Structure 1
Amino acid sequence: MTPGNNGASTPEDDDPFGYLYADGQANGATPPSGGGGYGYPGSVNRVRAVGERQYGQQQPGYGQQAPTAQYGQQAAPTAQYGQVPQQGAYGQPNAHYAAPETVPGGAPTGRQPSGGGGGRGRGPNTKGLLIGAIAVVAAVVIGIGVAMMNGNANDKSKDTAGGGSTPSASESASPSASASQSAPAGALPKIDAKALNLDGGTSLASDIKGAKADGGVYVTGFNHVGAKVTWTVNGIQNAGDFRLYARYSIPGADANATLSVNGKANSQPLGLKNFIGSPKGDYEKGWQSTWGPVTLNKGTNVIEISCNEGNQCDALFDQLWLE
């Protein structure tokens, strides 16, 4: 600026609207026209013209000076006074103006949109989070309720067990039905040959091997009419039908005898057959067992095995037992 009255005396007096006042008009201030400045003639244009910053134009880096128009060059055209700048199409950027936040390196915005695209931003799925939280709370409440119910049940059972209550008659230490029906083997009486009562010429011997009675003793001399062995059975707890088992030996030939209980003979003889097929004449290999039905009274009973008319009595006896 050259000496003289070419404008405001100082930059702070450079009033762009000086043409509106009388003193400004006296100093030569004129309204803006064309592409030049406005205010005092030749005044320093300290305001950046609208549209000087182009859309998408790279901004200077930190510490670098932005390029400005050279002295004497015309600045970017501006809208005339009273005119409305031309707007672009809806949704398109204005070529003469760009917001600082849309330009690379411009000022960051205080709030970033959460959604994408041109639509309205969507927030987090709070409905799903709320449903999940409710489900977790419900599961915890149910678990606590179940635990409390189980605890109450356990307490009740402990009170019953520790209260000194006695079991009922049906819960007493009585054996079950299956246990009472299956008596242990050998519970009924058993007798060896030397404990029998011998009559009619019978006697004891032990020279033939294979007898299981104590000491290998057996009854011999039974092979004639009138021979008899008697067993007095004590301790029968319940009356009923039983089986009388007899262990005997024959010389490879069938035999039989008369079985009597309490003085009454059975209708069928006691069979002393050669069930194992032992060789003839060999007593040692002829040891085997047979049985006959007997009906016993409670208490004491008398069982007799005798050789009567019509019997084949060539046999040895070593043991008798009941089942």
Structure 2
Amino acid sequence: MTSGNNGATTPEDDDPFGYLYADGQANGAQPPSGGGYGYPNSVNRVRAVGQRQYGQPAPGQQQTAAYGQAPQQQGAYGQSNAHYAAPETFPGGGAPTAPQQTGHGGGGGRRGPNTKGLLIGAIAVVAAVVIGIGVAMMNGNSDDKAGGGASPTPTTSQNTKPSQSPSNATSTDLPKTDAKDLQLGGGATRASDVKGAKSDGGTYVTGFNAVGSSITWTVDNIPAGGKYSVYVGYSVPGKDATATLTVNGTPSKTPVGLKNWAGAAQGDYEKGWTKTYNWVQLKKGTNTVNLSCGQGNQCDALIDQLWLVKGWVGS
């Protein structure tokens, strides 16, 4: 084709501003005037913004709106639109699927933290703790009310100096014994040359400072089973001693503390007389209380009396 009559040979050769140059004007380029621009019969066509069309709609399809204009609605609100119909409405389409919810609202999908479940779990834990405490307290009360049977492991006592007349305790009508009435074993013997013993005639047990030495007291007429405190009257020569307590054949896990509560000087038995106590469980009737020097004990002490007090003193 020839320039000036047929325009550019290809669209890309069509210079939209050819009319500004001499050679373009010579070839027939014209300023735009509502139609095409550039060379005659050029392929470009000027369209106002929003007016360019991109072909005719196919049958059954919605007509494409001009750029910047809203498409026309096909049919009334709520009626199906063939162009935007769901896939399941076409032949062979899949079954409809429920929409998935996201976020923390109601319905399906992901949910937020289960605070209600956490609260129920916390309440259950607190309830279990309260029930456990209640059971423990009930068991403690049942021990106080027990009518018979000795504890398998008698509990020992005090780390402070015993008072002369213990509060919450009484020895009225409960058994008491002196050294002269005790059953001795091992190297234990009786003597009365050290002054200060409170037993009848000033008699006390000596020779207790040897493994295997023992003192046995058979206690009769216990009115009821339960908690008692067994007192031991003794003297130490200005230093602490220990012994093993056994009740009804069951040894205590803690040794008897024969401490120098009197504050006696070294070697002074006469000034060392004092007392101590241990907690025990006794049964109704006859019980056996044994004080012995076992392995690991320091038994340098004189024993003059043993007696009982109802309940666990100081508890």
Query: If the TM-score is normalised by the length of the shorter chain, which range does it land in?
Result: 0.3 to 0.5
Larger helix proportion, structure 1 or 2? 1
> Greater RCO between the two (CA within 8 Å, min separation 6)?
2
Normalised to the residue count of structure 2, the TM-score between the two structures is: 0.44
User: Whose radius of gyration is greater, 1 or 2?
Assistant: 1
**TM-score, structure 1 as length reference:** 0.43
